[in-house]
Each structure stands twice: as C-alpha cells, then as structure tokens.
Chain A
C-alpha cells in the first residue's frame, strides 16, 4: 500500500537558517503530493502541493519538487522565521482515491 516516510524531529534551527525536511514515498500510479502545516493548537492546513513529476509547489517561501525518479518531495526554505515553528506533514493522494496517506510529521522549532 501507499506510505510516506519523513525525517524524525524535532528539528531546531536558528532564525534565518536554511531548512530541509526530507520526505520519500511509496505509491502505485501517479499520486499527488502535499505538504501540510500544523501550527500550535490548530488543525492542519495546506502549505503546498504538486500533482505531477517535476512540478514544484511553493508558498510562503517554502518549496518542494516532485521527484519521481527518487520518489521524494523534500520541503525547503531558504531563511526560516520564528513564526515557521510548527509540525510539518508530508502526504500523498493516489489517483482516483479519496484517501490521503500522511507521514508521521516533523516538528520544527526556530529560535531567535
């Protein structure tokens, strides 16, 4: 079945540091890939998505590229801020199915 593996957290960075959160997936067919973010005390919200190979999703300075050859969708940001502190979830949705498979989440803490 489908699965998503993302790096263990927590990740602690200083403000303005470069961020990478790794995500790899296993799926049949051609899934869509997502990054969701959960700020403290809130539900998840979509951060960005990519729907086909080589697509790059981007939002709020974050970006991720759909790499089919390496089955990866790593999240990056060039300069993190304290307000980026949250839990980040990588997810995929297979073609034709409603179900979304989530990774276990990576907690990011950015210190001033």
Chain B
C-alpha cells in the first residue's frame, strides 16, 4: 500500500519563504509530484522528482530523498496568489499502472 503524509495547513507572510514537507511509504516508487490546487479548481502540475536532489523551477523548488521517503516543496518570494492547497503525489510502478496517489494536501495561507 501507499501512505503519504503532509501537514494539513500552513501560514506564511507575503515575500517570505515556506517549505512544505511530505513523507511517504510506498510499495513501489516511480517518481514524486507536486501539484497546486485552488479551491474548486483542477490541480496543476508544479514539479517532479525521480532522483535524489533538488529541482528548481523559478520561485518553486522541490527536493527528494528516496532513502528517507521524504520530499519538500520550497516556495520563495511568496505572493498572495500562492494561497492554495499543495498536493504531494507518488507514482506507483508501471506494472501496476503507474497511478498517482495523492496526500491530503497542505492548505497554505499567505498573509500580507
């Protein structure tokens, strides 16, 4: 089975940096994804890690440690529009369909 944990909610200040952690336990691993979801809207892709290390993409970076079953999403220079839910997802092995299993999401509130 798969178990993915992330904090339920976080609050940060506009212009600051915030780190959202995700830990996972899976029977197979084929990559870790981060999505952003505004209330009532579709999740949109932010980043992907399959090897250990840091992937940087503008104001967003994501880190993966496969041995620790741990990832984080780092958001820099926070803007009000970054207030959203951030979803960590693990892709299972292709012989099981390669499905994406999501954590419960972290609701981030950015305050002025």
Please determine whether chains A and B interact with each other in the same assembly.
no
Chain A interfacial positions (CB closer than 8 Å to B): none
